[in-house]
Copies of this chain bind each other. A is one copy, B any other.
């Protein structure tokens, strides 16, 4: 089992770090969380198994590091840099959350299936719970920041940005969970429509309000 505090091992150089994280990501998508071992991760890693273990000792350390790694390139972060208009940016957040990135992402649903498995384990594992809480918190913070910006620019009504961000995140999350667990393939599309019916019109200030 993993130590609560990671031992002092040298941080991998950037190229090795990238290769280890990509291997962890592939193994996580392929095997899910519960059935995953460091052996499967090592199998996806082109370099030596001992190099992997030189930097990471346990599956838990690798998964916690993977969540940090993925957060760095999260679409919500990219959208903040790419799109100046908060309303357009919010729509992109919603679309990417429900349908995945625009480029063919064959692994989007495999990843979310494995992530759901991990989240269930988080119930009894402090390291995972804290990391997932931090990760989801950073994504909803970006969403809340966009909503706050929209309010300041007079584009959105004066709602609670954090609560609204969390509500949108939850709606997207629940649609993904229904698609994964119950096979409701139309869940993302119908949730998009419900968000357009209930959330966006309430959020958007009409021209009269500006």
> A residues within 8 Å of B by Cβ?
113, 116-117, 119-120, 122-123, 129, 132-133, 136, 159-160, 163-164, 166-167, 170-171, 173-175, 177-178, 180-184, 187, 190-191, 193-194, 197-199, 201-203
A22 smallest CB distance to B (angstroms):
25
- In the assembled complex, which residues on chain B have CB atoms less than 8 Å from the CB atom of A190? 163, 166
11 further contact pairs, Cβ within 8 A, besides A164-B198, A170-B170, A174-B174: A117-B120, A120-B120, A122-B181, A132-B181, A163-B190, A164-B197, A166-B194, A167-B171, A167-B191, A170-B178, A170-B191
Residue among A136, A174, A199 with the highest chain B CB neighbour number at 10 A: A174
Bound-state CA distance A199–B136 (Å) is 23
A35 smallest CB distance to B (angstroms):
11
Contact of A129 among B129, B159, B183 (CB under 8 A): B183
Q: Are A194 and B164 within 8 A (Cβ)?
A: yes
Grouping DSSP codes into helix (H, G, I), strand (E, B) and loop, the A interface class, with mixed when no group exceeds half, is helix
A57 smallest CB distance to B (angstroms):
25
Q: Are A133 and B182 within 8 A (Cβ)?
A: yes
Contact of A194 among B132, B167, B174, B191 (CB under 8 A): B167
- In the assembled complex, which residues on chain B have CB atoms less than 8 Å from the CB atom of A175? 170
A111 smallest CB distance to B (angstroms):
14
Q: Are B136 and A194 within 8 A (Cβ)?
A: no
Residue among A159, A167, A171 with the highest chain B CB neighbour number at 10 A: A167
A130 smallest CB distance to B (angstroms):
9
Contact of A174 among B116, B159, B170, B184 (CB under 8 A): B170
Q: Are A163 and B119 within 8 A (Cβ)?
A: no
- In the assembled complex, which residues on chain B have CB atoms less than 8 Å from the CB atom of A203? 198
A204 smallest CB distance to B (angstroms):
12
Bound-state CA distance A171–B166 (Å) is 10
- In the assembled complex, which residues on chain B have CB atoms less than 8 Å from the CB atom of A163? 190, 193-194, 197
Q: Name the residue of chain B whose CB is nearest to the CB of A159.
A: B197
Bound-state CA distance A166–B174 (Å) is 10
